[in-house]
Amino acid sequence: MTRSAEPISGIDTPALVIDLDAMERNLHRMAAFARQAGVRLRPHAKMHKSAELARLQLAAGAVGVCVQKTSEAEALAARGIDDLYLSNEVVAPAKLVRVAALARSLAARGGRLAIAVDGAEGVARLAEAVREAGAALDVFVEIDVGQGRCGVPPADRDPVAAVELARRVAASPGLRLAGLQAYQGKAQHLRSPEARREASAAAVSAARATRQALEAAGLPCPLVTGAGTGTYALEAASGVYGELQAGSYLFMDRDYADNAADPAHPPFEHALFVKAQVMSVGAGRAVVDAGHKSHAVDSGLPRVHDPFGRRAYAFENGGDEHGILRPLGGAPLPGIGETIWLVPGHCDPTVNLHDRYVGVRGGLVGGRVERVIPIDARGALT
């Protein structure tokens, strides 16, 4: 087990390591951005799954955090996070009982739970659970602004659907219509700033039309919430979105770094790494002790990060427990036991593979372990 004040060399591998200095710069840069833009920041905690990191975000000005699962909400609420938005649909009756109970207990301590809906059946089930528990809940109507996943069509594609659903929410005792959930996930990783701008503009336009349709129908729409690390500045400037849900900015993974940056908004720094070590050296290759079980590969393989900036290796798939390094540009093969730092392809599912972060201070070269941070909602799937 990693102890505090230990040197980085003492961290057993594979391990999920946060460069705390880099993370804190990311934290404050996004917080300052939201403040200056005049929008609320509600980072998505499905990314880090940690009450301690959520508290840092709240201390820096976030109004609360988003979660994606009922059990994630429960895990963070149990560790003192009071303002939670379950930005997803929940339809299973047994889970809705838990949602309603959580809404009650958060309200009792001055907090708040919100949730998203995208269908009449879901609203009816939610209303029943809330009624039976004597609870109350903020409800966002989710509209599909281009992702093609959950959400009713926005008003520029269907003048009736969102208004009709919002009316059901407003008419249900215990459910407060809180606005629109409008996240365009597919826009986040479009590589060129122009393509992201185009996709975000379409999402903004759809959200604006839907808000207008609600208001024209006499329904309140106090808040449009959405946006991610790839497009946050665009939604912030839209005049439509009042809240940003970006999450990955805190850690910045390889997939986000592969976006061509918008010159107006410099990219965040890599702050999350898998520490691995060389366990085998063969002809033209070295093998490290980290594979699919240490880093998620849904968004591609990790990138090898050399904190010294001297050596380059390509990372190849070595299966569940291994990764294969090929030297690039004449780099020498690393030796047995040598430390290798990997920038995960996608931070969210990588975090979900680990029980804890090892937070280091003073950089990856010469720094020291400052503290271990539990990943409280690791495996919170339901």
- The site for a second copy (CB under 8 A) is made up of 10, 12-15, 46, 68-69, 88-92, 94-95, 118-119, 121-122, 144, 148-153, 185, 277-283, 285, 287, 290, 292-294, 296-298, 317-322, 324, 336-337, 348-349, 352-355, 378-379, 381-382
Q: Which two tokens stand for residue 81?
A: 């996070």
Closest distance to a second copy from the beta carbon of 294 (Å): 6
| Cβ atoms of residues 250 and 56 within 8 Å | no
Backbone Cα Rg of the chain:
22
Inter-CA distances, 246 with 20, 22, 215, 225, 360, Å: 19, 17, 27, 10, 24
Helix residue spans in the chain (DSSP H): 20-37, 51-59, 70-77, 93-108, 120-133, 161-171, 193-216, 232-236, 254-257, 347-351
Q: Torsion-angle region of residue 138: left (phi > 0), alpha (psi -120 to 50) or beta?
A: beta
**Cβ distance to a second copy smaller for residue 110 or 335:** 335
Closest distance to a second copy from the beta carbon of 293 (Å): 5
Please tell me the distance from the alpha carbon of residue 301 to that of residue 303, in angstroms, as a whole number.
7
**Cβ distance to a second copy smaller for residue 349 or 362:** 349
Kindly compute the dihedral angle of the four CA atoms of residues 37, 38, 44, 48, in this order, to the nearest 10 degrees.
70
Q: Which of 30, 114, 9 minimizes the C-alpha distance to 64?
A: 114
Closest distance to a second copy from the beta carbon of 149 (Å): 6
Please tell me the distance from the alpha carbon of residue 295 to that of residue 321, in angstroms, as a whole number.
10
**Cβ distance to a second copy smaller for residue 40 or 44:** 44
**Cβ distance to a second copy smaller for residue 81 or 358:** 358
Residue 206 three-state SS: helix
Closest distance to a second copy from the beta carbon of 109 (Å): 25
Closest distance to a second copy from the beta carbon of 113 (Å): 18
Please tell me the distance from the alpha carbon of residue 200 to that of residue 187, in angstroms, as a whole number.
7
**Cβ distance to a second copy smaller for residue 82 or 321:** 321
**Cβ distance to a second copy smaller for residue 194 or 298:** 298
Closest distance to a second copy from the beta carbon of 350 (Å): 10
**Cβ distance to a second copy smaller for residue 132 or 355:** 355
Closest distance to a second copy from the beta carbon of 3 (Å): 12
